[in-house]
């Protein structure tokens, strides 16, 4: 076994594609080494030089250290506690800009390399669902928006497509975004494109109103507080419920009367619906 370490300052790779609306299609499995350009991160099950030789014997190309715009596979091994997945974060950046690179766990890649069995591609890269990184096309969004009721955006394909499209509209290629409720600047991986009016209550036309139906809130409590009606927005200002336990009131106090940066005049009907129908502070 070889312990490999990420070097300080990951090798740079040119981003030759730009993701315009999430047009790149991501594969689910890798079925052959032939024609692939493979890079590694972390600790694999054997020496990288031996892995590189076998990859090239099977018709692929391998780079033990560098990740470039030509890379089609990043094999993700394990890291020690003090190591960081710099190459995986770089791969996430590449996907965000239109690359079709696949991140494959070392144990899956071992099956492909040694047994010829398909290797499953990871559906999350650097903590984010691949669909969120690559974005979604308007056509994919419209297909998802036709479905009535709630969509579990974390666990269903259509839900992830819709969330990917809406996230792209809200956050673009930003690494951080401001939560419209608490005001903190946070990594976009901790943000959600939240429906201002609950999706289950939206008409088809409202679900398709991508410019106005959502706002960006964090997953560190704000999404749950809004969804449960403990926070709402009226005339551009955040209002909070005044009942509940002392701990809850203390939690809500910093939100009271804050300006909501996600509020716009065109979004007012959706915020008003939430205030009138869901706000638990009347």
Q: Is the pTM of this model over 0.95?
A: no
| 8 A C-beta contact, residue 42 and residue 85 | yes
Ranked by mean pLDDT, which of 24-28, 66-70, 153-157 comes out on top? 66-70
* Residue 266 predicted with pLDDT over 80: yes
Q: Per-domain residue ranges for the chain? A: 29-130, 136-277
The residues pairing with 54 across neighbouring beta strands, listed in sequence order, are none
**Cβ-defined contacts of 54-57 (< 8 Å, 24+):** 54/113, 55/113
According to DSSP, residue 210 is labeled T
What is the mean pLDDT of the segment spanning 96-101?
91
C-beta separation of 33 from 78 below 8 A: no
H or E, element range at 88: helix 86-96
Q: How many helices (H) and strands (E) does the chain have?
A: 10, 14
pLDDT at 75 (0 to 100): 94
Mean pLDDT for the stretch of residues 136-144:
88
DSSP letter (8 states) at residue 239: E
pLDDT of residue 282: 57
State yes or no: pLDDT of 159 exceeds 90.
no
pLDDT at residue 82, rounded to an integer = 41
Least confident of 8-12, 18-22, 45-49: 8-12
Element (H, E) at 43: none
Please, what CATH class does the domain formed by 29-130 belong to? alpha beta
Per-residue confidence (pLDDT) for residue 81, from 0 to 100: 44
**What is the residue-averaged pLDDT of the chain?**
85
């Amino acid at each position: 076994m070889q312990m490999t370490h990420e070097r300080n300052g990951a090798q740079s790779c040119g981003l030759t594609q730009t993701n315009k609306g999430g047009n790149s299609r991501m594969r689910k499995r890798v079925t052959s080494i032939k024609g692939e350009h493979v890079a590694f991160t972390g600790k694999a099950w054997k020496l990288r030089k031996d892995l590189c030789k076998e990859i090239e014997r099977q018709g692929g190309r391998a780079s033990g250290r560098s990740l470039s715009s030509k890379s089609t596979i990043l094999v993700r091994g394990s890291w020690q506690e003090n190591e960081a997945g710099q190459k995986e974060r770089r791969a996430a950046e590449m996907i965000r800009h239109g690359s079709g690179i696949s991140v494959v766990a070392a144990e899956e890649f071992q099956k492909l390399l040694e047994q010829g069995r398909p290797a499953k591609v990871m559906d999350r890269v650097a903590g984010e669902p691949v669909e969120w990184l690559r974005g979604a096309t308007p056509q994919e969004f419209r297909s998802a928006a036709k479905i009535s009721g709630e969509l579990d955006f974390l666990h269903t394909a259509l839900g992830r497509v819709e969330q990917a499209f809406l996230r792209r509209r809200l956050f673009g290629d930003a690494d951080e975004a401001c939560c419209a409720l608490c005001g903190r600047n946070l990594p976009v991986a901790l943000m959600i494109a939240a429906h201002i009016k609950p999706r289950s209550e939206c008409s088809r036309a409202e679900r398709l109103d991508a410019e106005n139906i959502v706002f960006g809130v964090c997953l560190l409590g704000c999404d749950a507080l809004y969804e449960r009606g403990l926070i709402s927005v009226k005339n551009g200002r955040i209002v909070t419920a005044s009942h509940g336990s002392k701990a809850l009131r203390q939690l809500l106090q910093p939100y009271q009367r804050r300006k909501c940066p996600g509020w716009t005049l065109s979004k007012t009907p959706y915020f008003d619906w939430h205030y009138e129908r869901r706000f638990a502070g009347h």
